[in-house]
Amino acid sequence: MNNSHLLLLILFLGICHVSWAVEKKTYIVHMAKSEMPLSFEEHTNWYDSSLKSVSDSAEMMYTYNNVIHGFSTRLTHEEAELLLEKPGILSVLPEVKYELHTTRTPEFLGLDTKTEGFLPNSESVSDVIVGVLDTGVWPESKSYDDKGLGPIPSGWKGECEIGKTFSASNCNKKLIGARSFSKGYEATLGPIDESKESKSPRDDDGHGTHTSTTAAGSVVDDASLFGYAQGTARGMATRARIAVYKVCWIGGCFSTDIMMAMDKAIEDGVNILSMSLGGGMSDYHRDSVAIGAFSAIQKGIFVSCSAGNSGPTPYSLSNVAPWITTVGAGTLDRDFPAYVNLGNGKNFSGVSLYSGKPLSSTMLPFIYSGNATNSTNGNLCMTGTLIPEKVAGKIVLCDRGLNPRVQKGQVVKDAGGYGMVLANTEANGEELVADAHLLPASTVGQKAGDSIKDYLFKDSNPTVTIDFSGTKVGISPSPVVAAFSSRGPNTITAEILKPDLIAPGVNILAGWSGGIGPTGLSIDTRRVGFNIISGTSMSCPHVSGLAALIKAAHPDWSPAAIKSALMTTSYSSYKSGEKLLDIATEHQATPFDYGSGHVDPVSALDPGLVYDLTVDDYLEFFCALKYTDAQINNLAKRKYTCDAGKNYSVSDLNYPSFAAEFDSVTSGSGSTGSSSSPSVVKYTRTLTNVGAPGTYKVTLTSESESVKISVEPNSLSFTQQNEKKMYTVTLKASSMPSGTKSFARLEWSDGKHIVGSPMAFSWV
């Protein structure tokens, strides 16, 4: 290398280093409030002084008072490192981007007129406030009608934020609060483009309106999407109040905004927090949602989050902190069949929400997209990949993947195609998600798709038509675990089984934004009051609304008690006795797929016994995780020192389910901790009686002999409410090959109640 080239290289590296050093990013700064020097009267003055000590130009974006003590700001990497060394600084965490986890449901869950006697009265439900962090609210939706509701709860401290396209009059006695948070978003991606989305609580996306009305929407008669799923739409807790916190924008949801929204929600006085979003996995003391949720549960607020849409891949969960209720997705007993009829006489069942002019009964020419393109991924019907001369006047088979399902149909339509058959590939298997297509279209499973392709490849003149059959109910088996629903095991703490439970999350009808069409595509000019969409984003608010019902029935219950009631009364078998199925494998699902099982709200209102937890229990859990004093302070917002003489165990957290990891090499060589367990594991659990006096006896069912399970004592007698009784579970595991999984179930019953707990074991 000559001298001139060497000089250029040095200059290039120098420029790169300078740009890295001066590039500012958003950070959330956690302060130890108790360590504020006496020279400061206000903690905000101390925060500002600490910040100015490393950067004269830096400004505080948000100041947090409830989820943490601290602030958010923009700093260079070097400034962030310097700030971390200052007195009273617990942590300086970089901004994290989160993503959204995107009628008949009450009847399917048993919340109909036949069970009204089991439900809390409307006055107590109307005292419960459900806070929803999402894309905002479309206040004109009929699902926010406040007819029949009394005055807003006296403890409510929130507000209806005034902004462009949003005024105080948009709130009422149902929608009692609406705020938006965008400083973190704008600091990273620049000013919000108000020609594309409202810089206010108004929902231009639809997702937030759908989730909040699923949780607590008012009763709306004759609701449907283009006639599909027609009937009475209602949220889970129809009389509960709704407060909306807009934290998600076109470019995503940012942790600084999420934390500020949680901070305000706690201050405003919500009882339930529902968050259908998730980001990357990290330890609890570095996870903004986990940190905010821990502050919420300390105030008695129940927090539910979506498990994620990364299934059926193992270890794909989001939001796994034990104080968060992590919700996976299952199907309803409702479908929207659209039959694909081939020229050879064979018929295949698919699904669709298409509502336009139907195809004629005559057969139409049929072509595979991979044979109508010059592109290597033309089989996916990506924009601009189809050749119009080959597609015009035909129905096109497209493979699912990469681009949105409905967009594929528009690509076919733009190329002159008359319709589309959308075929699942191995990634989605037999899972069928219905869409409001812009042209006649049906989605079929992988097996049907392969058979249809076989016909296309072998027949010299293939033809097809699609018949749309509206809405059908009573589909069996149901529920089944959705393929997209994220799965365990838990990557952060293997001894905490996640998800906690599943709820309806496939083809769910709920309120929608008037600012966007049902497909979410800009080319979709249709406007609807209700939409049908799928995701763990939809299952999460079901549980949030059900938690509101339990809170109304039992206002003195802790978030952990409510969670326990939901988990221990969930079911993991059909009425026939067969285990719940996983649509991804078409075989029996496991607790790593559904947690405790599918939610059963009527049973959850009267669980008999609960596994309760206090803040101190969680602090001891942190000690078992070997967290430092600073890391615990980061979560608890107070000083707490673990007792060096005490033997803390993760397995002693009073959780309603059980999980263990064993060493696969030699049964006795494992070490205690969150990553592995010895061949003998002991759990202690405490049950609290929340029902009538009675004696509960234990039963165990196990899939294999690889783990021997014993419970002492085998019966528990309760003479009064709130009485507590302890029991011990001992596991003795055999050595098994790495990757082996085994499951069991523990149940306590007094003859009326069944208090069930799943048990999941894996060898690593």
In terms of Cα–Cα distance, which of 275, 328, 332 is closest to 103? 332
User: Is residue 134 among the annotated active site residues?
Assistant: yes
| Catalytic hit among 200, 537, 657, 742 | 537
Helix (H) or strand (E) holding 178: strand 175-180
* Lookup: tokens for 421: 């058959």
Give the integer Cα–Cα distance in Å for 733 and 272: 39
DSSP assignment, residue 143? G
Give the integer Cα–Cα distance in Å for 569 and 287: 29
| Catalytic hit among 30, 207, 210, 542 | 207
Does residue 413 contact residue 435 with C-beta atoms inside 8 Å? no
Give the integer Cα–Cα distance in Å for 656 and 746: 10
Does residue 416 contact residue 388 with C-beta atoms inside 8 Å? yes
Q: Using DSSP, how many helices (H) and how many strands (E) does the chain show?
A: 18, 40
Give the integer Cα–Cα distance in Å for 640 and 648: 14
| Catalytic hit among 134, 205, 268, 435 | 134
User: Is residue 69 among the annotated active site residues?
Assistant: no
Helical packing angle, 536-553 and 559-568, nearest 10°:
110
Give the integer Cα–Cα distance in Å for 400 and 421: 10
Give the integer Cα–Cα distance in Å for 726 and 711: 11
Give the integer Cα–Cα distance in Å for 340 and 322: 45
Q: Per-residue b/e over 415-448, b at no fewer than 16 CB within 10 Å?
A: bbbbbbbbbbeeebbbbbbbbbbbbbbbbbbbeb
Mapping DSSP to helix (H, G, I), strand (E, B) and coil, where does residue 603 land?
Answer: helix
Give the integer Cα–Cα distance in Å for 495 and 682: 12
Return all residues near 743 (Cβ < 8 A) that are at least 6 apart: 590, 591, 702, 703, 758, 759, 760, 761
- The CA distances from residue 145 to 160, 512, 705, 730, in Å, are 16, 14, 56, 53
Give the integer Cα–Cα distance in Å for 64 and 260: 7
Residues annotated as catalytic are 134, 207, 537
